[in-house]
Amino acid sequence: MPKWCCSILTTIPIFLTLISCSGESRKTVVSENASAPQQVKSRLETVKNRGKLICGVSGELPGFSFVRADGRYAGLDVDICRAIAAAIFNNPNAVQFRNLNAKERFTAVQTGEVDVLSRNTTWTLGRDTSVKMEFAPVIFYDGQGIMVRKNSGFKKLEDLKGKPICTQTGTTNEQNLADQMRRRGLPYQPVVFEDVNTAYTAYAEGRCDAVTSDRSQLLSRRTALPKPQDHEILSVVMSKEPLAPAVAEGDVRWVNIVRWVVYTLIEAEELGVNSKNVTQLTRSNDPLFRRFLGVEGSLGKGLGLTNDFTVRIIKSVGNYGEIYNRNLGPNTALKLDRGLNNLWTKKGLLFAPPFR
Amino acid sequence: MLLLFAKALFMWNNSRFWRWFGQILLILLVVILAIFLWRNFTENLQQLGLQFGFDFLNLQAGFDIGEKIVTYKSTDTFAAALFVGLINTLRVMAIGLVSASIVGVIVGVARLSDNWLVRNLAIIYVEIIRNIPLLLQLLFWYFAFFLKLPQPGNSISFFGIFSLSNRGLQLPGGTALYPEFLTLILGLTLYTGAFIAEIIRGGIQAVPKGQWEAARSLGLKPFQVMRLVVFPQALRVIIPPLTSQYLNLAKNSSLAIAIGFPDIYAIASTTNNITGRAVEVIVIIIITYLTISLTISLLLNIYNRRIQIKER
């Protein structure tokens, strides 16, 4: 057989696969256009058809999202995913978790690889606009801190003049650090790693005098260092880091679901509804409970869910307070004080609009 | 009718027709493929509501870079940050190419040494280094070697001029080479050096035995035999495969991101994360590596043509 024949024969299968791919993508475009531009197919349908939610998490952060010894994912971020799955499928385990590093996360949402990003992500204006994210309500109010070795004697940022500081790339931390040092006119040497584990290992090995990240993350990672008691987190708070779940921009129905699932958790705590008393409260005569739990009215239907979606959520993951205590509370390794992450009625910032 | 049939039959059996047909078909497929990819790309961007453009390069970067030899501060643009990364990449490549070549030549010659110990040490080096993934080696050198060096307080001093600690190599005049840079240079040098050594050995062995004997009978010393007679002839065999090793080194330098060295790839990743311009950033990285690789390839091809035997 002549040479050119071979080259053609090898090209044909490649070409055929491409044609088949292009056919598929074209089809979805057409169907979306056909169903009128204002009512584009929501991700809710995609998720329902798939039968499970795909949730982007960190997977590296105890208390927020990590894999426990028994192989199950656990953490605050993870429970948000489970709550969404419970609201849609009445099954908190209908979630597929996908570990994403700080760098990959936004592309994964933009391309639709994950339905929700629940990965200790800071809500910023830039991410809301030019990165095209849509943020759900804040689930954890945090601030950037800095951790040093106790025996170093460093007490404030000024002490770190000219010193190497480890951090992770693709985070707001990297830029906040630059801002804070610039404000104080302090030269320093950033050592920036793509992998969060590498960053903390390098710090533990003495490559850097300090490591900077969100305070909750520093607390969480400190428990994993060889000698946690040898390290301390300085009192300086370098930024506001409101951590919130995010979805892709331009899908109002899907955003609403994620948003109101989070509000459900907060409202449930405020009303005193928890996983233990929720079934009993559905029989209550109080219109407040009856409406919130979907016995009256049609709030769930309006979201494109069932009316009892709040009951489903609270039954499977509990209210915000229960989630917090389970993952970050006094009985965990982190022992994080509620602080700002308390209800507005208890001097915190958590506030849910009315369920009406 | 009969004539038409004959003509068709002629075409069917005509090899020239088929050769043309094949070429045209191939071009057509390539063009269709390109159009498809472009349309797919623009359609997807449109669906996501993203525009394609490089205007973001003029925005303020807002992050600092630890390792740099050109001036840069966090208030400079993304373009400036990427330039710092490019310079870092080129610096690693340039030093790596030279040092890998030196290691390669020494080990390659040692592989053929009459000394049993030297020969076997060279074999062990080549076989160990060649068969372990480079990423693993970089992490090994970084965590198990450079970061295990003593703390700055009790660093190892060399004649009071250099001092080595887990913060890097302090040079006279206050400048320092950071552990990330040293790891990358060491890792790339040893890894590529092992491959180059094998190429050098092969090249030397390809020189006919008669050349060695002739050189020796002229009274040249062993080193002179190698330098003046054998090596120049071996180069003809060495250069083509050496080119691909140089290209490998250039591309492997992008593994810098694993150990926190701010090369062009690392800086571009950060840029992508802040601006959300994945496609544009990937295009920049591709063009950068393509340009560097093609330049290396071109230079070595020119050199290769110069050293080939000119048949007269």
ipTM above 0.90, yes or no: no
List chain B residues with CB under 8 Å of A18. 33, 36
More reliable by pLDDT, A19 or B165 = B165
Is A87 within a domain? yes
Same domain, A192 and A215: yes
Indicate the pLDDT class of residue B7, thresholds 50, 70 and 90.
Answer: confident
* pLDDT (average), residues A214-235: 92
Cβ-defined contact of B260 to A189 (cutoff 8 Å): no
Same domain, A208 and A260: no
Kindly state whether A199 is in contact with chain B, defined as any CB-CB distance less than 8 angstroms: yes
Same domain, A184 and A317: no
Give the one of A8, A102, A166 whose C-beta lies nearest to B25's C-beta. Answer: A8
Cβ-defined contact of B63 to A18 (cutoff 8 Å): no
Q: Assess whether pLDDT exceeds 80 at residue A17.
A: no
Q: Average model confidence (pLDDT) for chain A?
A: 88
CB pairs under 8 A between A and B: 130
Alpha carbon separation from A293 to A288, A290, B147 (Å, rounded)? 9, 5, 57
Is A55 within a domain? yes
pLDDT in tens, A312-323: 999 999 999 999
> Which residue in chain A has the smallest CA separation from B148?
A205
List chain A residues with CB under 8 Å of B262. 192
At residue B163, the pLDDT reads 87
Give the one of A102, A177, A206 whose C-beta lies nearest to B151's C-beta. Answer: A206
Domains of chain B, earliest start first: 57-307 (1.10.3720.10)
State how far residue B150 is from chain A, nearest Cα, in angstroms.
9
List chain A residues with CB under 8 Å of B64. 174, 177-178, 181, 188, 190
Give the one of A4, A111, A127 whose C-beta lies nearest to B19's C-beta. Answer: A4
Q: Assess whether pLDDT exceeds 70 at residue B220.
A: yes
* Lowest-pLDDT choice from A33-47, A100-114, B17-31, B66-80: A33-47
Same domain, A190 and A271: no
**Whole-structure pTM value:** 0.81
Indicate the pLDDT class of residue A10, thresholds 50, 70 and 90.
Answer: low
Indicate the pLDDT class of residue B202, thresholds 50, 70 and 90.
Answer: very high
Return phi, psi of residue A338, to 5°: -65, -40
* pLDDT (average), residues A181-202: 93
Q: Assess whether pLDDT exceeds 60 at residue B109.
A: yes
More reliable by pLDDT, A131 or A203 = A203
Number of domains observed in the structure of chain A: 2
pLDDT in tens, B51-81: 788 989 999 999 999 888 899 999 999 999 9
Query: Concatenated DSSP letters for A165-203?
Result: EEEETTSHHHHHHHHHHHHTT---EEEEESSHHHHHHHH
Is A205 within a domain? yes
List chain B residues with CB under 8 Å of A110. 48, 50, 276, 278
Kindly state whether A103 is in contact with chain B, defined as any CB-CB distance less than 8 angstroms: yes
Same domain, A187 and A277: no
Give the one of A5, A132, A170 whose C-beta lies nearest to B48's C-beta. Answer: A132
Same domain, A254 and A237: no
At residue A130, the pLDDT reads 83
Is A14 within a domain? no
Domain end marker among A241, A263, A279:
A241
> Which residue in chain A has the smallest CA separation from B150?
A206
Is A293 within a domain? yes
At residue A333, the pLDDT reads 87
- Specify the CATH number for the domain of residue A258: 3.40.190.10
Kindly state whether B31 is in contact with chain A, defined as any CB-CB distance less than 8 angstroms: no
State how far residue A178 is from chain B, nearest Cα, in angstroms.
6
Counting Cα atoms < 13 Å in the Cβ hemisphere of B35 gives 7
Distance of alpha carbon A65 from alpha carbon B37, whole angstroms: 37
Q: Assess whether pLDDT exceeds 50 at residue A94.
A: yes
At residue A37, the pLDDT reads 44
Same domain, A156 and A209: yes
Indicate the pLDDT class of residue A29, thresholds 50, 70 and 90.
Answer: very low
Same domain, A167 and A257: no
Same domain, A157 and A222: yes
Cβ-defined contact of A18 to B33 (cutoff 8 Å): yes
Query: Concatenated DSSP letters for B252-272?
Result: HGGGGGGGT---HHHHHHHHH
State how far residue A266 is from chain B, nearest Cα, in angstroms.
31
pLDDT in tens, A64-73: 999 998 999 9
Cβ-defined contact of B33 to A177 (cutoff 8 Å): no
Return phi, psi of residue A181, to 5°: -70, -35
Q: Assess whether pLDDT exceeds 80 at residue A11.
A: no
Same domain, A134 and A250: yes
Kindly state whether A102 is in contact with chain B, defined as any CB-CB distance less than 8 angstroms: yes
* pLDDT (average), residues B103-107: 96
Range of the domain at A295: 43-139+244-346
Query: SS3 of A99, please?
Result: strand
State how far residue A208 is from chain B, nearest Cα, in angstroms.
8
Domain end marker among A215, A241, A267:
A241
pLDDT in tens, B162-193: 888 889 898 887 788 999 999 999 999 999 99
At residue A9, the pLDDT reads 52
Q: Average model confidence (pLDDT) for chain B?
A: 91
Distance of alpha carbon B191 from alpha carbon B48, whole angstroms: 42
The one-letter amino acid code at A350 reads L
Alpha carbon separation from A317 to A80, A326, B122 (Å, rounded)? 9, 10, 61
Kindly state whether A197 is in contact with chain B, defined as any CB-CB distance less than 8 angstroms: no
Neighbours of B109 (CB within 10 A): 18
> Measured on CA atoms in the order B138, B140, B143, B147, is the torsion positive or negative?
negative
> Which residue in chain A has the smallest CA separation from B61?
A175
Domain end marker among A224, A241, A258:
A241
Please identify among residues 279-338 of chain A the ones whose CB lies closer than 8 Å to any CB of chain B. none
At residue B173, the pLDDT reads 74
At residue B46, the pLDDT reads 79
Q: Assess whether pLDDT exceeds 90 at residue B50.
A: no
Q: Assess whether pLDDT exceeds 50 at residue A33.
A: no
Same domain, A224 and A252: no
Q: Are B199 and B101 in contact (CB under 8 A)?
A: no
Same domain, A148 and A101: no
Distance of alpha carbon A241 from alpha carbon A166, whole angstroms: 18
Is A5 within a domain? no
Distance of alpha carbon A123 from alpha carbon A131, whole angstroms: 11
* pLDDT (average), residues A234-243: 93
pLDDT in tens, B247-268: 999 999 999 999 999 999 999 9
State how far residue A307 is from chain B, nearest Cα, in angstroms.
31
List chain A residues with CB under 8 Å of B74. 175, 178-179, 182
Is A281 within a domain? yes
Indicate the pLDDT class of residue B312, thresholds 50, 70 and 90.
Answer: low
A234 Rama class: left (phi>0) / alpha (psi -120 to 50) / beta: beta
Strand stretches in chain A, DSSP E: 53-57, 60-61, 65-67, 73-74, 95-99, 116-117, 133-135, 140-149, 164-168, 189-193, 210-214, 231-233, 240-243, 246-248
At residue B51, the pLDDT reads 77
Q: Are A29 and A38 in contact (CB under 8 A)?
A: no
State how far residue B247 is from chain A, nearest Cα, in angstroms.
24
Query: SS3 of B100, please?
Result: helix
Kindly state whether A149 is in contact with chain B, defined as any CB-CB distance less than 8 angstroms: no
State how far residue B238 is from chain A, nearest Cα, in angstroms.
29
Is A30 within a domain? no
